[in-house]
């Protein structure tokens, strides 16, 4: 089996969380929100956060939502085509609190600076720079 990339990741969010999700992922982080019209029309049970041309987060609003705990889910790492200082500035301007910064965490593409934020539902998001400072 020859995998080439992760196509999507499913994250559950609270049933009343779509507006917060759009505000955080769309307005604050600047990702494109897709499929909201189909979700709102009950044509599909989730909507998407477009991370890159071939990569999305499927956000599944559900009444059974439970925030991630320290015993299971840890974080999603997203490669950002920029320097970490630029990412930090953009997050500050968007009012997003940086929980932590690591200068060289190891990931699939090697080591690079990264910052960690938390979404409104308790998911930890690693924003990993792809351009060295």
Boundary of a domain, candidates 66, 86, 114: 66
Residue 109 CA to residue 86 CA, distance in Å, equals 20
Q: What is the pLDDT of residue 5?
A: 77
CA distances from 7 to 10, 18, 48 (A): 10, 21, 12
Predicted confidence (pLDDT) at residue 73 exceeds the cutoff of 90:
no
Q: Which two tokens stand for residue 61?
A: 């609003």
Whether residue 60 sits in one domain with residue 1: yes
Whether residue 46 sits in one domain with residue 104: no
Q: Which two tokens stand for residue 90?
A: 């953009």
Whether residue 97 sits in one domain with residue 60: no
Boundary of a domain, candidates 66, 98, 113: 66
Whether residue 62 sits in one domain with residue 28: yes
The number of angstroms, rounded, from the C-alpha of 45 to the middle of its chain's C-alpha atoms is: 19
Whether residue 54 sits in one domain with residue 6: yes
Q: What is the pTM of this model?
A: 0.88
Whether residue 76 sits in one domain with residue 54: no
State the residue range of the domain holding 47: 1-66
Q: What is the pLDDT of residue 132?
A: 64
* Strand-strand pairing, 100-102 and 106-107: unpaired
Boundary of a domain, candidates 14, 42, 66: 66
Q: Which two tokens stand for residue 121?
A: 């539902």
pLDDT in tens, 29-65: 999 999 999 999 999 999 999 999 999 999 999 999 9
Number of separate domains in the chain: 2
Predicted confidence (pLDDT) at residue 129 exceeds the cutoff of 70:
yes
Q: What is the pLDDT of residue 1?
A: 80
Predicted confidence (pLDDT) at residue 131 exceeds the cutoff of 70:
no
Whether residue 47 sits in one domain with residue 81: no
Residue 80 CA to residue 97 CA, distance in Å, equals 17
CATH of the domain at 51: 3.10.180.10
pLDDT in tens, 96-106: 999 999 888 88
Whether residue 88 sits in one domain with residue 59: no
Whether residue 51 sits in one domain with residue 11: yes
Residue 17 CA to residue 38 CA, distance in Å, equals 16
- Mean predicted confidence (pLDDT) in 2-9: 80
């Amino acid at each position: 089996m020859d995998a080439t990339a992760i196509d999507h990741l499913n994250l559950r969010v609270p049933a009343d969380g779509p507006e917060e999700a759009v505000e955080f992922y769309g307005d604050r982080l600047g990702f494109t929100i897709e499929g909201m019209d189909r979700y709102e029309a009950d044509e599909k049970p989730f909507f998407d956060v477009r991370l890159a041309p071939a990569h999305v987060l499927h956000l599944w609003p559900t009444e059974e939502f439970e925030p991630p705990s320290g015993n299971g889910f840890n974080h999603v790492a997203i490669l950002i085509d920029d320097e970490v200082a630029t990412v930090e500035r953009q997050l500050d301007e968007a009012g997003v609190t940086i929980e932590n910064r690591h200068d060289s965490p190891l990931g699939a593409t090697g080591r690079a600076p990264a910052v960690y934020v938390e979404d409104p539902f308790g998911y930890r998001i690693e924003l990993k720079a792809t351009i060295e400072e």
